[in-house]
Amino acid sequence: MRKFRLVPLSIVLPFLLIACSDDQTPSENDATDQEATEPLQISTTLFALEDFTSRIGGEHVEVESVYPPNADAHTFDPSSSTYVKIAEDDAFIYSGVGMEPFADTIHDLLDEETVEIISAGEHLSLRGEHGHDSESDHSHDHEHEHEHDHDHNEDQTSAVDLEGINDHYHTGDTIALTATADIDVEGDVTWYTRDSESDDWSEASTGKSFEDTVDTDGQQVYAAFIDDEEQPVAESETTTIHIDDHDEESGAIDPHVFLDPIYSIELAENIMNQLSELRPEHEEDFVQNYESLKADLEQLDASLQSTIDSADHKQIIVSHAAYGYWEDRYGIEQLSIHGLSSTQEPSQSELTSIVEAARENNLSYVVFENNVSSTISEVIQSEIGAESLVLRNMESISQEDYDAGEDYVSMMEMNIETLETALNH
C-alpha cells in the first residue's frame, strides 16, 4: 500500500478538465514506453479489493483503499481530495454490489476523466438480488380460497378496506390493521390468516383492529364481517405481508459477497481480467498471481466448512448482518443485532428475540467487528452475561492489523479461529 498524494482542493471541480501544455512534452512513443514500465496507480474501496488487487497485480501495481483504518463502508463519505486523487489514478476498483453509497457520485464526477472505473462484482448473482418471487408472493392476493363452509353474497366480497398496510415490514415489526366496510353492514369482524406454504385459513382474532408480529414473509390476512348466523356478509381482499430486511442503500441485496471465499474467487478473476486489459504485456504474471490467490481462497473455503460442520452449535450473535453468505454456504445462523447496514437499528422485538435465542441456546459470546461500534451490542452482551469476540469483516483494516502486515487470508484465518471459539462454547 502507498501513501495518498495530497492535491490542493482548489482543483477539485472540475476534475482536471483543463490539461496543462508543455513544449518539452515527451514524444508519444516515449510517453507510452514510460507508462508501460510504471506501476498502475489504483485506488479501491473495500480492503478485500485492495488486497486482491495487490496480490494479483504484484510489482505492476501500486494500490490503496480510500477507506482509512476501521472505516465503516456503509457510512463512509469521501472527501473532495479523495475524489481528486481517484481522478489522477489509472483505475478505481469498487465492489459495485451496493457497499459504496457514493458510487453514483464517482461515476458522475469522473465520467470525463481517464481513470478506469471498475466494478469487481459486476454480473455476480447476489443473495436477495431478485427480491421476492412476484408470482408466489401475489398468487393469492386477489383470490379468495377461504374454504369457509358458508355461502355469502359475492357482490359484497371485497367490500371491506384494510387500513394500515405498509409496503414492506422488517422481521419482528408489528402489523396493525383496521377493517372498514364500504357498505352498510352489521356484524362482527373476524380476521383470518395463513402462511405462504399453507392452503388453509385460520381464524386469528375478532374485532375491527388486528395486530400481529411479522415473522414470516408471504403471510396472508383478510377480514370478514360475520352476521349473527355466522355468515360472512362482507370481506376484504387478501393482503400479503412482505418482509424486506435489507438496507435501502444496497437495493435490497446482501452486498457482503467478499466475505465468501468462493465469491471472492470471482471478484479476483474479474480484477485479473481488468488488469490484463490495462497492461496486457503483464497478463502472464497476473494469471499466475491470481491462481495462487485462488488456491488460498479455496483453502479458506474448506477450513470454514470444516469448522462449521464440526461445531457444537451453529448460532452466532453478530453486530450486523454481514454473514448471510456464510449462512447460505456453510449453514451458520447469524443472530444479527443490526441489519445489513450497521446503521439499521433493530426493533425492540428483534432485540428480545436475540436475547431469548441466546439464553435458549446457551450462547456465551457476542461477536463485534473491528470497524463497527455498537452500544446496542454491548447492552445485549451485558444482558446475557456474554464475553466478546471480534470478526474482521474485510470492509477496512484496523491500524493494528495493518502495522502487523495482515492480509485478507491471514485475517480470514483469524475469523475461523473466532468461529471455533464462538460455536463451541
Contacts (Cβ under 8 Å, ≥6 apart) of 121: 95, 96, 97, 257, 267, 270
pLDDT, residue 244, reads 57
Those residues of the chain that have pLDDT short of 50 are 1-24, 31, 131-156, 246-252
pLDDT, residue 90, reads 97
Per CATH, the number for 134-241 is 2.60.40.10
Q: CATH 3.40.50.1980 in the chain, residues?
A: 9-128+255-297, 309-422
Q: CATH 2.60.40.10 in the chain, residues?
A: 134-241
pLDDT, residue 416, reads 97
pLDDT, residue 213, reads 80
Q: Which of 236, 241, 232, 231 is nearest to 142 (CA)?
A: 236
- Determine the 3-state secondary structure of 136 from DSSP: helix
Q: Write phi, then psi, for 76 (nearest 5 degrees).
A: -65, 135
CA atoms of 97 and 128, how far apart (whole Å):
11
Fold category of 309-422 in CATH: Rossmann fold (3.40.50)
DSSP 268: H
- Determine the 3-state secondary structure of 292 from DSSP: helix
- CATH H superfamily, domain 9-128+255-297: Nitrogenase molybdenum iron protein domain (3.40.50.1980)
pLDDT, residue 218, reads 79
pLDDT, residue 169, reads 64
pLDDT, residue 57, reads 98
The count of other CB atoms within 10 Å of the CB of residue 219 is: 20
